[in-house]
Amino acid sequence: MILHHIQTSPNQDNALSCALNYGGQTDSFLLSGNGVYATLEAKWKVALQGRQVFLLKSDVEARGLTLQLSDYTCIDHKEFVQQALIHKKVITW
């Protein structure tokens, strides 16, 4: 069980694409920084369906996307640390 931490927009690089290709069914995905923008695009919404997805709350709020991304689980930094401890490994892409 791996926590894949994506920090960049999928329009910047292929981090999310790679993480999804290598991620297993029990893996989770944490989107932070510009990575939260992926959840606004239909292509990535579909790719993330059925996966455990977390968004870093402070980054969602900083970008004014709280209402648009209310369907996703937003976590704070303390919960991020908890998720890192729950998962066997954290990979930052």
* CATH number for 77: 3.40.1260.10
Give me the pLDDT at residue 10, please: 94
Cβ(27)–Cβ(3) under 8 Å? yes
DSSP per-residue codes, 14-80: SHHHHHHHH--TT-EEEE-GGGGGGGGSHHHHHHHTTSEEEEEHHHHHHTT-TTTTTTSEEE-HHHH
pLDDT at res. 82: 97
Q: How much is the pLDDT for 49?
A: 95
Average pLDDT, integer, range 6-11: 96
The residue range of the domain holding 59 is 2-92
Which residues neighbour 46 within 8 Å (Cβ) at sequence distance 6 or greater?
none
Who contacts 82 (Cβ-Cβ below 8 Å, separation ≥6)? none
pLDDT for 27: 97
How many domains does the chain divide into?
A: 1
Q: Alpha-carbon distance 29 to 6, whole Å?
A: 7
Chain segment 24-57, per-residue pLDDT in tens: 999 999 999 999 999 999 999 999 999 999 999 9
Q: What is the pTM of this model?
A: 0.92
**Is residue 81 very low, low, confident or very high in pLDDT (cuts 50, 70, 90)?**
very high
